[in-house]
Amino acid sequence: MWQVGSPISDFRLTCVEPRTLHESTYQYRRDHRGWLALIFYPRDFSFVCPTELMAFSDRAHDFEQLGCRLIGASIDSAEAHQEWITVPANRGGVAGIRFPLASDPEGKVAKLAGAWNEEQQLPNRGLFLIDPDGRLQYSVIHNLHVGRSVDETLRVLRALQTGGLCPVAWTGEDGTLDAAGMLTQGRVIGHYRLREVLGNGSFGTVFLAWDLRLQRQVALKVLRQTHERAREALLDEARAAASVNHPSVCTIYAVEELDQLPVIVMRYVEGGSLSDRLRDQSLTPDKAKRLVKQIAEGLAAAHERGVVHGDLKPANILLDEQGGPCIVDFGLSHGRAVVASQSKTSASDELEVDETILTATGTWLGPMESRGDEAIEQTWDMAKTVSWHGGSASLIGTPAYMSPEQAIGKPPGPLSDVFALGLILAELLSGRRVLDERSVYEILHFLRDEDIAKRVLERLADDFPRACLSMLSRDPTDRPTARQVASALDAT
């Protein structure tokens, strides 16, 4: 039996075209284009059927405008349809009908659809709307004696085609409900009940939620409604991250669309972020090295599965009840790059600049302050994400934790994550960010021209493990892998 939201099975019907009375075979998988409204009725010449089918016929143009084909189907033979089509309405016929009538003599298709009346050996008045992808999106089955409303069918079809949420009595002039704007405490999305907002990020809002099926707490990230390609890129990256199984990587339970909203369902980690911990208290050198070793092991597990983080920073490292790290938001920089290449639309915590300040080869075109962006520069938090695209280059990442290659517009790789981890290690040991310049321009200029490792040595002297100093090499090929970092810290 066909289920709403699922692909329907293939079927074949013999149809009679009303204008020519010619017979033709409609095979669903071969002939399906656009939307299909399949209307089952019991018999030709019955009492309710002529008025009902002619009501649909009178609105055939409306269905055509919506790209929806109409087919009526009963158990009558093609010959019976041909006769009925020639009989005028005042004699119980459907002369002038504007869509084909199909023959389903044994009720095979009606049974597939779930519209068959076994007792009467007739199809009930079933109506099915099937989308261009072959999925059943709407079904209604009436008693044999009750006709269906054409207006309601068109209302539902228009609502389905909006792709949004449409309440009762919705019309095309009303617009759709803003599902993302209605996400408040207590609301249920899919089988998750929202409890509270945990945070807002560049690409979505994270909620503490209760899984009603498995009876457990989860973190549920609802992605912002953005470009289709960008959304799919984000979800693909999340699915890739879900394949990483490591204690230091946040477990992703599900990546799906619920109530037309793209969501990522993750393990809920109660201890806050490493960024929060750094504000509240410092770590001893031994604790800092142990923590970074665990993070490096998680990164290594991800890199070995081809998954790059691309925006590693303390805010993206959660701490569990025992203080162990849990890395979140793997791969979101890839989604940001897709957005940057398509749009200049700004999120609340992103900086987007219309002018290119660097080329793909790294040629510097000048500071943003000189281009009228001084107010933005002076107030921008260097620990927040920059998403900036112009011309042939993109600047994607967090300035305070960005690698030199990202600073000249190159995409992040595994060794970019290693560089960011080196900056985090130095910050944990010194209590201050390595890249603590006042503006994005100053940070990017420093990454391009200065020796980062030298600055770390000046500040930390012997406190920074010499075996890890190469993590901060400007050339990515001179850096160790995450696995090598973990081994080096294990030996200190």
**Choosing from 49, 250, 326, 468, which is the catalytic residue?**
49
pLDDT band at 387 (very low <50, low <70, confident <90, very high): low
Confidence of residue 349 (pLDDT cuts 50, 70, 90): very low
For 268-311, the pLDDT digits (tens) are: 998 889 998 888 777 889 999 999 999 999 999 999 999 999 99
pLDDT of residue 353 exceeding 90, the answer is no
Question: For the ranges 4-8, 86-90, 332-336, which has the lowest average pLDDT?
Answer: 332-336
Intervals of CATH 3.30.200.20 along the chain: 180-267
Confidence at residue 423, expressed as pLDDT on a 0 to 100 scale: 94
As a whole number, the mean pLDDT across the chain is: 83
Residues of each domain in the chain carrying CATH 3.40.30.10: 12-162
CATH 3.20.20.70 assigned to domain 180-267? The reply is no
pLDDT in tens, 187-216: 888 899 999 999 886 677 899 999 999 999
pLDDT on residue 372 = 42
**pTM, two decimal places:** 0.64
pLDDT higher at 342 or 141:
141
- The mean pLDDT of 257-273, rounded to a whole number, is 88
pLDDT value at position 168?
63
CATH T-level fold of 12-162: Glutaredoxin (3.40.30)
- Render pLDDT for 100-112 as a digit per residue (tens, 0 to 9): 999 999 999 999 9
Q: Is 453's pLDDT higher than 80? A: yes
Reported as a single tens digit per residue, the pLDDT across 152-178 is 999 899 888 876 556 666 555 555 545
Residues forming CATH 1.10.510.10 domain(s) in the chain:
277-491
Confidence of residue 241 (pLDDT cuts 50, 70, 90): confident
Q: Is 68 a catalytic residue?
A: no
With cut-offs at 50, 70 and 90, classify the pLDDT of residue 391: low
Instruction: Give the rounded percent of residues in the chain with a pLDDT score beyond 90.
Output: 53
Contacts 24+ apart (CB under 8 A), 172-175: none
Q: Which CATH number fits domain 277-491: 1.20.120.550, 1.10.510.10, 1.20.1050.10, 3.40.50.300?
A: 1.10.510.10
